[in-house]
Amino acid sequence: MSNSKRYTFGLALALLSATAAAELPQSSILTRYGVTSDQLPKPAAIETTKPTTPVEEKSRFQLQPEQPWMTLRLGDGKQPEKTGNISIDRSMQQELERCRRMQDQLFRRGGQHIACDNRIPGIH
């Protein structure tokens, strides 16, 4: 559709709507028929009765407290198992400390979580 056809169509539509709006009466429909609002029928009275015993409404939904959107666990504070060999125990302790430092750095940078207790990442 070319621009001149669109312009003509829009102008015709505006003219038709202005004509239709001019034909509408400016007064209320009640005054056109000679009726006042006092002569309208009153709405039916609604009977309200108080229940003698309170009826417990059962919810259709099971509401539960909101769960946190993120849970942060850093090894749950577990210490490595003691083997009795001082050099193995010391190296395991150093490895745990190094892993926790790495976790802290990754958390600050928004990176992926790593597990320090020989678990598979992502499975808790």
Reported as a single tens digit per residue, the pLDDT across 61-92 is 887 888 777 766 655 566 777 888 889 899 98
* pLDDT, position 9: 92
Q: What is the DSSP string of the chain?
A: --HHHHHHHHHHHHHHHHHHHHHS-SS-HHHHTT--GGGSPPPPPPP----SSPPPPPPSS---PPPPS----SGGGPPPPP-S-HHHHHHHHHHHHHHHHHHHHHHHHT-----SSSPPTT--
* pTM > 0.75: no
Region 7-18: mean pLDDT is 91
Q: How confident is the model at residue 124 (pLDDT cuts 50, 70, 90)?
A: very low
